[in-house]
């Protein structure tokens, strides 16, 4: 397992040396390592718990650790590996583009099976494959720098290059490729009983997980599976092959576009508004960028450099810069959580739910539509007294929270920019 991470982890040091900022390389490494350890500990804890179906009063099979057994959920695991090594191997091989298994992911507990699925859904950027994990992680670095710039009302920069709307659009295109491939093909499979649903062996929520994991693994080019699904059909062979092609090749296009666009830009010296990319705050922002939603970027404007004697236009430009720097200094003195800004942002978060405004942000508009649909289903199940109310309520609340938090963050950025 150590050799799986050896080269991908070493590339963070290479990044630091190539950018002449060793601390930046270690900051990226810290973000990857934090996600890796979180996955390992979560999967290990989940699998060490007794299976509730076998621990019920009707069956009551002893699953506690003792001198005679390792305890926990040992279904689908080899005794020689046990809980810890099985959870560790499942996390490591889905962090990287490996796909090897020493236990059956389909037999993991719900939370334990969620860990490898999420690892692949992130694009296998937690160290990832050789090279592929690094450029995938740099997408989230660009998004982290962009979001940090939005929150303080400054133009984002990365390694001396301005991050403009084109760069953010290409980064989001990379992110959306995974979502469209995984969710789109999963939705088609779920809506076709004779094609997609015919292959599942566990009707119900776990059958959905089997299909979702299949397209997640194929798009991420991982190779592992919730192996209970019967995927050797014409539909799954063709659709999984399409997902593999999209995940392997189409994601390279936006990354090359970002690289080419940044290469053409001139280096600019750091300023007081430059977000440092070698601090623990940057690592935290990188972690936050995994769950942040996209917002419509606006193209920043730049003034061209002047030379020679200060003309009237040049003097006016210098005066405007001085005034702008003074305003930036005043803005920095204002607390990020200024009461007036927060109150206004809370109101605007609900005002921005207007579909006409949300249509300008396609991603969040789709989430809002999903929130409305789940709310309708929630009230329908409430009237029918179904036993899925808890699940429906959780999904509905999380979707509305996502939309409102994205609107709140955007309103906070606007308020800080006007302050």
CB-side exposure of 203: number of CA atoms within 13 Å?
Answer: 3
Copy the structure tokens of residue 155: 């133009």
Distance CA(125)–CA(131), nearest Å, equals: 10
pLDDT at site 418? 62
Which residues of the chain register pLDDT less than 70? 55-60, 62-63, 65, 68, 130-133, 290-337, 416-419
CA 33 to chain centre: 15
pLDDT at 337: 66
275 and 160 Cβ atoms separated by less than 8 Å: no
Other CB atoms within 10 A of residue 244 CB? 19
Say how far apart CA 220 and CA 106 lie, in whole Å.
18
Give CA–CA dist 419/415, Å, rounded.
6
Please give the pLDDT value at position 419: 52
Residues 411/417/418/419 CA torsion (nearest 10 deg): 100
Predicted pLDDT of residue 308: 39
Nearest 5°: CA angle at 231, between 98 and 208?
A: 90
Query: Is-contact 47 41, C-beta < 8 A?
Result: no
CA angle 187, 193, 195 (to 5 degrees): 80
């Amino acid at each position: 397992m150590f050799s799986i991470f050896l080269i991908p982890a070493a590339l963070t040091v290479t990044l630091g040396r190539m950018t002449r900022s060793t601390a930046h390389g270690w900051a990226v490494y810290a973000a990857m390592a934090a996600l890796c350890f979180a996955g390992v500990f979560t999967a290990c804890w989940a699998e060490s718990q007794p299976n509730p179906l076998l621990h019920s009063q009707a069956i009551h099979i002893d699953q506690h650790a003792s001198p005679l057994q390792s305890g926990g959920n040992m279904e689908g695991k080899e005794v020689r590996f046990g809980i810890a090594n099985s959870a560790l191997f499942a996390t490591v091989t889905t962090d990287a583009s490996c796909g090897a298994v020493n236990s059956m992911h389909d037999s993991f507990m719900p939370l334990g099976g969620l860990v490898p699925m999420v690892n692949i859904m992130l694009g296998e950027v937690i160290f990832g494959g050789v090279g592929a994990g690094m450029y995938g992680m740099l997408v989230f670095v660009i998004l982290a720098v962009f979001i940090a710039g939005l929150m303080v009302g400054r133009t984002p920069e990365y390694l001396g290059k301005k991050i403009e709307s084109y760069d953010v659009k290409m980064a989001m295109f990379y992110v959306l490729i995974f979502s469209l491939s995984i969710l789109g093909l999963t939705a088609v499979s779920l809506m076709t009983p004779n094609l997609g649903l015919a292959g599942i062996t566990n009707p119900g929520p776990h059958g959905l997980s089997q299909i979702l994991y299949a397209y997640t693994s194929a798009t991420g080019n991982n190779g592992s599976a919730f192996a209970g699904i019967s995927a050797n059909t014409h539909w799954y062979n063709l659709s999984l092959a399409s997902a593999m092609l999209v995940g392997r090749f189409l994601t390279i296009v936006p990354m090359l576009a970002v690289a080419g666009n940044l290469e053409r830009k001139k280096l600019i010296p750091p300023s007081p508004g430059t977000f440092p990319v070698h601090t623990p705050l940057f690592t935290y922002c990188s972690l936050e960028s995994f769950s942040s939603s996209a917002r419509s970027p606006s193209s920043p404007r730049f003034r061209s450099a002047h030379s020679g004697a200060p003309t009237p236009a040049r003097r006016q430009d210098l005066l405007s810069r001085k005034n702008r720097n003074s305003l930036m200094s005043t803005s920095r003195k204002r607390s990020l959580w200024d009461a007036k800004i927060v109150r206004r942002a809370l109101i605007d978060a609900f005002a921005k739910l207007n579909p006409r405004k949300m249509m300008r942000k396609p991603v969040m508009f789709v989430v809002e539509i999903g929130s409305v649909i789940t709310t309708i289903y929630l009230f329908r199940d409430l009237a029918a007294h179904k036993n899925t109310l808890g699940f429906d309520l959780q999904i509905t609340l999380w979707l509305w929270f996502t939309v409102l938090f994205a609107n709140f963050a955007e309103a906070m950025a606007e308020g800080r920019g006007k302050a």
